[in-house]
Amino acid sequence: MDWGMKNRMAQLIQADGHCLFLPVDHGYFQGPTKKLEEPRKTIEPLLPYADALFITRGVLRSSVDPDKSKPIILRVSGGTSMVGKDLANEGITTSMEEAIRLNVAAVGLSIFVGTDYERESLLNLAKLVDEGEKYGIPVMAVTAVGRELEKRDARFLALSSRIAAELGARVVKTYWCEDFERVIGGCPVPVAMAGGPQVATELEVFAFVYDGMQKGAIGVNLGRNIWQNDFPVAMIRAIRAIIHENASPKEAQELYESLKSGGVTG
């Protein structure tokens, strides 16, 4: 691995081998997502606790100060919307030249395995990897499920994650699921977990993050379950404790409750 690639990977994956990526890219197909209507307000209080931000160029330029930033994973796929025909029909939206201009640590793109646009999205990934490798920029592949949340099982996620790794992704972002060890076992590159829509309790989030870490995930790329929480700073700090301090779900819950009652808002 060349110096630039190594340096960027080290910006993303911390010295303990773990990572907490904060995705705020949802608007690229969802519009003003709940609690992300004004991205700057959502991002600023959480930024000190994130290892990297997953974000589009538009929100990066408009809502993150260049002198107070964190490593950037630039979302470079899109072109579809919640109200359009097919979420899977994404293309590459941002050039590698632009990624370099923005001094990013990585680029990220979704793949849509099992859809009508499987081939296009996989070839987009392969093309992005070719470009990224040329300039020492790692690619994070996102194993998307579109509206079909029920697809989030070990068989599908293991298949998608492995394909992403085979095509050259340096990091794979996928969902946690039951039998998550099957996903990790079949994927020869680091795996970060997404959360999906907000779940009923904080403890459920702590439990799946902890389980995934025990099974070999390097960390999370977790958005809505952090910033849609009523106490997002308490939430990100509790998740950070699991990822970087090996806290148990119970310890994370206690930390969350104490920060919440201590008046940590944000």
Identify the active-site residue in 173, 215, 250, 260: 173
Strands 91-92 vs 106-111: parallel, antiparallel or unpaired? unpaired
Choose between 224 and 260: whose C-beta lies nearer to ligand 5RP.
224
Minimum CB–partner distance for residue 114 and ligand 5RP (Å): 17
Residue 128 dihedral angles phi and psi, to the nearest 5°: -65, -40
Contact 238, 253 (CB under 8 A): yes
DSSP state at residue 261: H
Strand partners, 152: none
SS3 247: coil
Side-chain-side CA neighbours of 199 within 13 Å: the count stands at 16
DSSP, res 47: G
Task: Give CA–CA dist 164/251, Å, rounded.
Answer: 34
Catalog residues that contact ligand 5RP under the rule CB under 6 A: 23, 25-26, 54, 142, 194-196, 221-225
Closest approach of Cβ 265 to ligand 5RP, in Å? 20
Give the number of other Cβ atoms within 10 Å of residue 189's Cβ.
18
Residue 151 known to be catalytic: no
In the complex, least distance from residue 151 CB atom to ligand 5RP, rounded to whole angstroms = 13
In whole angstroms, the minimum distance from the beta carbon of 26 to ligand 5RP comes to 5
Q: How far apart are CA 60 and CA 251, in angstroms?
A: 34
Q: Backbone phi, then psi, for 243, in 5-degree steps?
A: -75, -45
Smaller CB distance to ligand 5RP: residue 23 or 232?
A: 23
Nearer residue to ligand 5RP within complex by CB, 154 or 254: 154
Smallest gap from Cβ 261 to ligand 5RP, in A, equals: 26
Q: Is 155 helix (H, G, I), strand (E, B) or coil?
A: helix
Q: Toward ligand 5RP, which CB reaches closer, 11 or 225?
A: 225
70: helix, strand or coil:
coil
Q: Smaller CB distance to ligand 5RP: residue 136 or 196? A: 196
**Cα maximum dimension of the chain:** 51
Residues carrying an active site annotation: 173
